[in-house]
Amino acid sequence: MMYKRYCDVHEFYDAVYSLLLEDEAQNLIPLGNLLIGVKGEDKFAWRDPVNWYMATVSDSADVQLVAIMTPPHNVALYAKDNKINKAAIEFLLNPASDIPFPGVLAQRDLSISFAQAYCAKNNLQHETTMELRCFELTEVNPEIKQFGTLRLVIEGDMHFFPFWAEGMYAADVYGKTTMNIPQEINPYQYRVNAQNVYILEVDGQPVSMASAHRPMVTVCGIGLVYTPPYFTRRGYATSGVAQLSQHILDKGYKKCVLFTDLANPTSNSIYQKIGYRPISDSTMLKFI
């Protein structure tokens, strides 16, 4: 086997893009990151590939293991055909054992195997940050009750949008019931400028939001799903995600893809009512 680390994102793209595309939905995150790097038009925050870690492990025939890290995020891994190859993991870690990976995100078995090997080499421990399930949708359930109107977020929403975004991060990413107060505008202005966040309005009142992100060849992702606590249990999130999913399909994508926290049975149930079906599970681990 052979380990190769890449400094040129275009060379890395040529080596791994077709392999990652074989599991387009599962690899939505690394594929989306890779395309951001190749286009080179967006270098806000973590998006400049000059700071990335990119590597492959290959046998005599093909790439067997792909690794990409966009600091400060975890290293994301993909094993060809989702087959755990411990020799490939060792070949990745031998030259990379001193790289300060904060954690790993990959298909569950691969994530655990990598974490065990990395921690053994570095005298560390690992703990689970989140168990994720990847869902995909090809057709929206026509029986979903629809509310209001879906529209893009605009400058005039900046009086509430940053607080909604922080509320989503607190609840869905960090599992907290309290949130940080937004201190600067740039991360939220970036979202407004990107024109991929949608607001659901009912009788002129914003009640929920979701984003369409990481558009690929046949799939497009959905994320940033949030409804303020005082608007929950009214079907707004279900309606908003259903409308956005249909909007994505109407644009010509064959599938919508989203990731859920398995610790949140409510969201998992809602998405399946809309028409989403589970296709794979991933585990996010951090090293301590």
Q: Provide the mean pLDDT of the chain.
A: 94
- 159-186 average pLDDT score: 79
Q: List, in order of start, the domains of the chain with CATH numbers.
A: 2-124 (3.40.630), 149-280 (3.40.630.30)
- 22-39 average pLDDT score: 95
Reported pTM: 0.91
pLDDT of residue 173: 54
DSSP 180-222: PPP--SHHHHHHHHHT-EEEEEETTEEEEEEEEE---SSEEEE
Instruction: Look at 265 and 57; give whichever has higher pLDDT.
Output: 57
Reply yes or no on whether the pLDDT at 270 is more than 60: yes
Answer left, alpha or beta for residue 45, where phi above 0 means left and psi between -120 and 50 means alpha. left
- 189-199 average pLDDT score: 95
Give the number of other CB atoms < 10 A from CB of residue 270: 19
